[in-house]
């Protein structure tokens, strides 16, 4: 039963997520815990004509040993061949498939968060360069493990927790539909329609209001909203996130004022931040608080100038499958698609060419959720008119 589901899931990742083309090199990045899924994806890619599958396993146990024992001034070291390999994937116009959570959840429990914040691997800053060059067709997908299921459903025994998590992933990936590929075609069309309507409004700013949240963030004159996947420079359509429920754009990094309260926990460098609030002035995060581990995000936000400014605002309505589950997955891929979110750090280049220079630049990109049924989103037009965008989780456009 699980085997049959895993096989269909692997095929969906290859066909719809990355949309692997005959003759392509296919990078598969996975935690060692996800090896069973990586192997099925690799086999599916070869059946679809891949020239070479390049498995790239990341071992969270080795990362833990580093954080426990290595000298503190070495923890931010990344061998140059890590980024070079990723850039080579871009140069070879590879398909890229990343399996999350990575690092694996649970294995870094108890590590000093200040040390953990210094080691961003497996994340590489070159990721933005490759994504923005649009040379690869890529996707990020999730693989339920026992350890992850235990974090998500601690109230269940191990077997039941894993079964529940699998049911949820099957549902949100639309693998419970008779034709998952067709279901994703429909979802893609709907998200693209919403993104187009938002782009056409040319809002000057967005106003976010909810419990603990009152934030106005500026948009750039040429802001383009995206959603429902991407088409790369070679004309290959792909779903960068599988599942995806969001539409998003890059805000003006110089204009954000007010406070935003996260509505989901943020998992960062192995630490969980609950009750996160961020206060912005002039586009810059001036104050970061949380019930615990706030110092982890503070550390990240100090890594470079752009790390304390916004690189993304994404909107998710309440019709999506993820938010309805009411589950916190402690994994950005799923949680960010459950609710509207902001990201500190680097922007994806989705704006008009004249705005590209103004987008936020950073070595980091950290999403945190602010959305929910009690959070409203209002567009502020160039003439200062207030246009409802989201009310009680429903699109108003």
Question: Hunting for tokens 């060692």 — which residue is that?
Answer: 32
| Residue 79 sits in the site that holds a copy of itself (CB under 8 A) | yes
| Residue 129 sits in the site that holds a copy of itself (CB under 8 A) | no
Applying CB under 8 A, the span of 67-75, 126-134, 195-203, 295-303 interacting with a copy of itself comes to: 67-75
Residue 157: how many other CB atoms lie within 10 Å = 10
SS3 at position 364: coil
Q: Is 109:154 a contact under the CB 8 Å cutoff?
A: no
CA distances from 364 to 124, 230, 344 (A): 9, 21, 7
Minimum distance of a copy of itself from residue 137's CB (angstroms): 17
Give the burial class of 207: count Cβ atoms within 10 A of its Cβ; 0-12 exposed, 13-18 middle, 19 or more buried: middle
Residue 362: how many other CB atoms lie within 10 Å = 24
- At CA 101, angle to CA 39 and CA 193, rounded to 5? 95
Applying CB under 8 A, the span of 39-47, 108-116, 162-170, 224-232 interacting with a copy of itself comes to: 39-47
Minimum distance of a copy of itself from residue 45's CB (angstroms): 8
| Residue 50 sits in the site that holds a copy of itself (CB under 8 A) | yes
- At CA 217, angle to CA 280 and CA 189, rounded to 5? 135
C-beta closer to a copy of itself: residue 11 or 245: 11
| Residue 70 sits in the site that holds a copy of itself (CB under 8 A) | yes
Q: Which structure tokens are listed for 10? A: 């692997």
Residues 91-110 that bind a copy of itself (CB under 8 A): 92
Minimum distance of a copy of itself from residue 21's CB (angstroms): 14
| Residue 47 sits in the site that holds a copy of itself (CB under 8 A) | yes
Count of residues near a copy of itself by CB under 8 A: 35
C-beta closer to a copy of itself: residue 229 or 270: 270
- Strand pairing report for 365-369 and 341-345: antiparallel
Q: Which structure tokens are listed for 169? A: 């992933």
For 2, residues 6+ apart whose C-beta sits below 8 A from its C-beta are: 166
Applying CB under 8 A, the span of 12-20, 50-58, 183-191, 203-211 interacting with a copy of itself comes to: 50-58
| Residue 214 sits in the site that holds a copy of itself (CB under 8 A) | no
| Residue 74 sits in the site that holds a copy of itself (CB under 8 A) | yes
C-beta closer to a copy of itself: residue 24 or 263: 24
Minimum distance of a copy of itself from residue 42's CB (angstroms): 4
| Residue 72 sits in the site that holds a copy of itself (CB under 8 A) | no
SS3 at position 79: coil
Determine if residue 393 is left, alpha or beta; phi over 0 gives left, psi from -120 to 50 gives alpha, anything else beta: left
Minimum distance of a copy of itself from residue 15's CB (angstroms): 15
Q: Is 124:78 a contact under the CB 8 Å cutoff?
A: yes
| Residue 146 sits in the site that holds a copy of itself (CB under 8 A) | no
Give the residue from 50, 49, 37 showing the smallest Cα distance to 10: 37
Minimum distance of a copy of itself from residue 80's CB (angstroms): 7
How far is 215 from 377, CA to CA, in rounded Å? 10
- At CA 186, angle to CA 182 and CA 190, rounded to 5? 165
C-beta closer to a copy of itself: residue 61 or 123: 61
| Residue 83 sits in the site that holds a copy of itself (CB under 8 A) | no
Residues 148-167 that bind a copy of itself (CB under 8 A): none
| Residue 7 sits in the site that holds a copy of itself (CB under 8 A) | no
| Residues near a copy of itself (CB under 8 A) | 25, 32, 35, 38-39, 42-43, 46-47, 49-55, 57, 59, 61-62, 65-66, 68-71, 74, 77, 79-81, 84-85, 88, 92
């Amino acid at each position: 039963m699980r085997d049959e589901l895993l096989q269909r899931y692997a095929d969906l990742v290859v066909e719809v997520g990355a949309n692997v083309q005959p003759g392509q090199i296919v990078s598969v990045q996975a935690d060692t815990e996800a090896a069973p899924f990586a192997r099925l994806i690799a086999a599916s890619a070869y059946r679809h004509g891949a020239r070479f599958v390049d498995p790239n396993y990341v071992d969270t146990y080795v990362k833990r040993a580093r954080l426990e024992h290595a000298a503190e001034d070495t923890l931010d070291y990344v061998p140059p061949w890590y980024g070079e390999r990723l850039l080579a994937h871009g140069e070879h116009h590879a398909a890229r498939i990343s399996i999350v959570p990575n690092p694996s959840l649970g294995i870094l429990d108890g590590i000093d968060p200040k040390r953990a914040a210094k080691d961003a691997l497996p994340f590489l800053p070159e990721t933005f360069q490759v994504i923005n060059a649009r040379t690869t067709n890529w996707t990020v997908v999730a693989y339920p493990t026992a350890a992850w299921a235990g974090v998500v459903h601690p109230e269940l025994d191990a077997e039941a927790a894993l079964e529940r998590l699998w049911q949820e992933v099957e549902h949100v990936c639309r693998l419970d539909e008779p034709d998952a590929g067709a279901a994703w075609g429909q979802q893609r069309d709907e998200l693209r329609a919403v993104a187009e309507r938002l782009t056409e409004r040319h809002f000057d700013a967005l106003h976010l209001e909810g419990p603990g949240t009152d934030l106005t963030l500026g948009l750039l004159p040429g802001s383009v909203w995206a959603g429902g996947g991407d088409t790369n420079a070679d004309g290959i359509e792909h779903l960068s996130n599988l599942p995806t429920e969001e539409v998003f754009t890059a805000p003006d990094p110089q204009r954000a004022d007010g406070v935003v309260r996260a509505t989901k926990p943020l998992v960062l460098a192995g630490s969980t931040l609950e009750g996160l609030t961020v206060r912005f002035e002039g586009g810059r995060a001036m104050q970061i608080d949380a019930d615990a581990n706030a110092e982890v995000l503070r550390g990240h936000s100090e890594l470079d100038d752009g790390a304390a400014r916004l690189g993304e605002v994404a909107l998710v309505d309440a019709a999506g499958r993820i938010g309805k589950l009411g589950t916190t997955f402690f994994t950005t891929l799923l949680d960010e698609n459950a609710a509207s979110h902001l990201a500190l750090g680097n922007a994806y280049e989705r704006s008009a060419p004249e705005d590209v220079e103004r987008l936020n630049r950073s070595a980091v990109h950290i999403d945190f959720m602010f959305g929910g049924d009690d959070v409203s989103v209002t567009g502020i037009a160039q003439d200062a008119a207030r246009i409802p965008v989201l009310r009680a989780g429903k699109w108003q456009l």
